[in-house]
Structure 1
Amino acid sequence: MKRGRRPLLAMLALLALLAATTAQASQVYRWTDAQGRAHYADRIEGAAAADADRIVLPAGPTVVARLRVEPDAQGAQAWVDNLLAGPIEVMLHADGGAVASDPPLPARGTVPALSGGLLARIGPGTPRLRVTAVPGTPNARPRDVEYAWPLQTANVRIQQAWGGAFSHGDEENRHAVDFAVPSGTAVLAARDGVVMQAEAGFPEASPGEDEDELVARANFIRILHDDGTMALYAHLQTGGVLVRLGQHVRRGQVIGLSGNTGRSTAPHLHFVVQANRGMRLASVPFRMFGPQGVLRFGAAQAGGG
């Protein structure tokens, strides 16, 4: 690959960036710091602003990371650009046989928010490289925190609690709770944090759509907490994200609107606290104070998802 193609590679890597937090077109700024590291953000201030490239992006599904291959005299450098406003853990793989690299593949590492990280130096050849990524850092240490009621309602109706048979059987959602509320209900931040990831562009499902495909089509907000855990607020309505990537939010602040997107049988808010446990997400038990007092989620409840 010729050096002259580097700007094209960088542009291609950006085309599938997260389109901020609405169904409208958005923009992302890219700039390089004094150490040569690439950074991405939805806005930029200060001295770096003069050197930033502005790229307008269409709305689209969330992308966690992009592989960026930079040729050099020994072969190539494999970089991973983190497109989220929080850390991610990544692993670089080579398909189709052994590849000379330093370190050997698969190579694993953590990339800070909205920045790029060098994963490996690749020897001569044309290996087929791919990246897997998981939000969060494996160094998360969940604290015992009481979460606030995440809805602007005075009543509690639980469709599905911890261990629910419909969709809460996997590790990522074992301690998730589905709160039944009408579409358009205000969703509140249950804890202070930073908007790490969001999606607002998916429509509600049409009759007859494949259920497995619908799993990845739920609008959501992921908020990163100061102990490394992340709260996921899912099944929001189309355009139902009211915060932006990288924004600091406070407990009780309105962040979105509930809906019925994704694999959902009725309008509700899917709430779960997760932590990265080493290239995998696991749900974390949590305490929550509701409109009438402390909520109990230990007993699985039947119902829709």
Structure 2
Amino acid sequence: MKIPLFIFILLSLFSLNATGQKLYKFQDKQGIWHFTDKPPKTAQKVEVRQMKAANKQLVWLLQSGEERQPSFYIRNDYAGPVEVEVDFAEQENVRSTPELPKRFVIESGKSDTLFEIGGINQQASWRMALKYRYTIGSPLAQYYSKISYLPPLAPGATFQISQAFNGSFSHTDEQNKYAVDIAMPVGTPIHAARAGIVMEVDNDFYKGGVNKAYSAEANNIIILHDDGSMAIYAHLELEKAQVYPGLTVAAGQLIGYSGNTGFSSGPHLHFAVQVNKGMELVSVPFTFADREGQAQEPSYGAWLKGFIHPDG
């Protein structure tokens, strides 16, 4: 007798990326309207509409093996590691090897088999549902920044810090507690404050304002450093990213342009250093380096000046 197996994968995602596109509309010489998501090759006037960015999934829990004893692995489409926690959402006459819940650190790409599922009493039916959540970055329970960061500005550019650590407007949660906002016009060049690998790029959001509904709609670039920390550059300009996931960037390299996307009261760059602590992305204190190499803790009202990195 074949015992039916029911497998449901339930998603509980901590991090989503997004992609958006444009709609092009034009009327040809015969008066016929055309609509396309690709830039048309025409001399006619083209209307362009920015479409709402849609979330896309970058971490997948996938099944392989026999139906009666399936195994599971994870595909990680980020350009760096993620920590994933898998558990049963529903469990009846079934067990896993190794036992769940369990956390796994998955490098970019496809993992090996992580666990297998099987029935306890083979003469009885069994069913289950799995759930998983993830956080980008390898887990770093204890982390302290040991280096100072370059101001993320072009050489010679000078801008003022409009919100520093523990800022009351938007730096009140763990992800942003130790962030700084640097006021600057839209379109200001943004440079990498430290060398690393581009982990993630959001480039398609086009709205911004003080409505918290915009909180998840800031264009940003996340760069993974060699010690496992990650710098986030947020509120960037629509479609102006100069880097892509997986690219290695040098300190001082141009990566994008400032904007006013997401939860924002005005054009600025939001910069923070974050790590994965206990399956949560948290910000950590850091310092900026001045031209003499001295470490300066960011403070409200302070002026930052970009300079050429000595290794650049």
| TM-score between both structures, scaled by the size of structure 2 | 0.71
1:146 to 137, 145, 148: 148
Q: Which residue of 2 aligns with 1:119?
A: 114
Letter in 1 for 2:164: A
Q: Which residue of 2 aligns with 1:82?
A: 76
For the pair 1:255 / 2:255, whether they are aligned, the reply is yes
Structure with bigger strand share is 2
Unpaired runs of 5+ residues, structure 2, are 1-8, 10-15, 23-52, 120-125, 303-312
Q: Which residue of 2 aligns with 1:132?
A: 133
SS of the counterpart of 1:241? Answer: coil
SS of the counterpart of 1:269? Answer: strand
1:65 to 53, 56, 59: 59
Correspondence list, 1:67-216, <5 A: 67-97=61-91, 99-124=94-119, 125-139=126-140, 141-152=143-154, 154-205=157-208, 211=212, 213-216=213-216
Query: What is the distance in 2 between the residues matched to 1:218 and 1:290?
Result: 28
What is the CA-CA distance between 1:178 and the residue it aligns to?
0.6
| CA offset digits 1:139-186 (Å, max 9, x no partner) | 485541111110226222112100011111111111100111111111
Q: Which runs of 4+ in 1 moved over 3 A?
A: 17-20, 59-64, 96-99, 139-143, 290-296, 298-301
Q: Which residue of 1 aligns with 2:34?
A: none
Contact 2:161 2:299 (8 Å CA) reproduced: no
Moved more, 279-288 or 290-299: 290-299
SS of the counterpart of 1:109? Answer: strand
SS of the counterpart of 1:90? Answer: strand
For the pair 1:238 / 2:241, whether they are aligned, the reply is no
Letter in 2 for 1:131: Y
Query: What is the distance in 1 between the residues matched to 2:68 and 2:279?
Result: 30
Query: What is the distance in 2 between the residues matched to 1:60 and 1:238?
Result: 15
Q: Which residue of 2 aligns with 1:51?
A: none
Query: What is the distance in 2 between the residues matched to 1:260 and 1:218?
Result: 8
**Percent of aligned pairs sharing the same letter:** 38
The verdict on how the C-alpha distance between 1:71 and 1:115 changes in structure 2, with shifts beyond 3 A counting, is closer
Moved more, 227-236 or 196-205: 196-205
Query: What is the distance in 1 between the residues matched to 2:136 and 2:58?
Result: 7
Query: What is the distance in 2 between the residues matched to 1:116 and 1:219?
Result: 29
Unpaired runs of 5+ residues, structure 1, are 1-8, 10-16, 25-58
Contact 1:161 1:178 (8 Å CA) reproduced: yes
Contact 2:208 2:214 (8 Å CA) reproduced: yes
Contact 2:207 2:262 (8 Å CA) reproduced: yes
Query: What is the distance in 2 between the residues matched to 1:236 and 1:169?
Result: 21
For the pair 1:223 / 2:223, whether they are aligned, the reply is yes
Structure with bigger helix share is 1
The verdict on how the C-alpha distance between 1:108 and 1:230 changes in structure 2, with shifts beyond 3 A counting, is same
Letter in 2 for 1:159: S
Moved more, 225-234 or 116-125: 116-125
Larger radius of gyration: 2
Aligned-residue Cα RMSD (Å) equals: 3.0
Contact 1:156 1:291 (8 Å CA) reproduced: no
